């Protein structure tokens, strides 16, 4: 739900913000067929979304992953409260910064979400979900090779 909401918020807000700064026609271009202006709009949406919401969402993923590990991945653990403060203080922030924020956001998420925002609105959330699965597979395969 958060991804769907953020895609709507940034999909509408970033083009309007671009127009506020003098990049005229972005709002209209986002509703039309492919053009350079639509590509720029899609890139700006992806950039705004991934450099603000994306990093927070990825950190939330780390917190929930750690909770699942800490509770043994059980159904009972699912209903236990998440100790967010403790998990945040124990995260490896060097990895979070050096890999998650500095590599996956600029080299994976911004480019693929640019493509996502070139799609019709009714396909964007589905495509983003498939991208998440694709990144998971890529990271799992890379982890096996190490």
pLDDT per residue as tens digits for the range 39-87: 999 999 999 999 999 999 989 989 998 999 999 999 999 999 999 999 9
Domain that holds residue 24: 2-145
Q: Is the pLDDT confidence value at 30 over 70? A: yes
> What's the rounded Cα separation, in Å, for the pair 95 and 92?
6
Largest distance between two CA atoms of the chain: 54
- Tokens, residue 133: 């699965």
Mean pLDDT value across residues 9-17: 97
pLDDT at 144: 74
> What's the rounded Cα separation, in Å, for the pair 17 and 143?
39
Give me the number of domains the chain comprises.
Answer: 1
Q: Say what the alpha-carbon torsion angle 106, 109, 113, 115 is, to the nearest 10 degrees.
A: 80
- Tokens, residue 25: 């026609």
């Amino acid at each position: 739900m958060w991804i769907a909401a953020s895609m709507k918020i940034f999909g509408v807000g970033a083009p309007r913000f671009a127009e506020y700064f003098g990049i005229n026609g972005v709002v209209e271009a986002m509703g039309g067929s492919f053009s350079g202006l639509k590509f720029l709009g899609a890139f700006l949406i992806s950039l705004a979304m991934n450099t603000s919401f994306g990093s927070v969402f990825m950190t939330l993923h780390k917190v929930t992953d750690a909770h699942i590990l800490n509770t043994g991945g059980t159904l009972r653990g699912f209903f236990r409260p998440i100790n967010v403060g403790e998990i945040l203080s124990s995260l490896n922030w060097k990895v979070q910064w050096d890999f998650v924020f500095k590599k996956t956001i600029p080299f994976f998420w911004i480019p693929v979400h640019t493509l996502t925002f070139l799609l019709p609105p009714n396909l964007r959330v589905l495509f983003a979900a498939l991208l998440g699965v694709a990144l998971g597979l890529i990271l799992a395969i890379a982890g096996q090779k190490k």
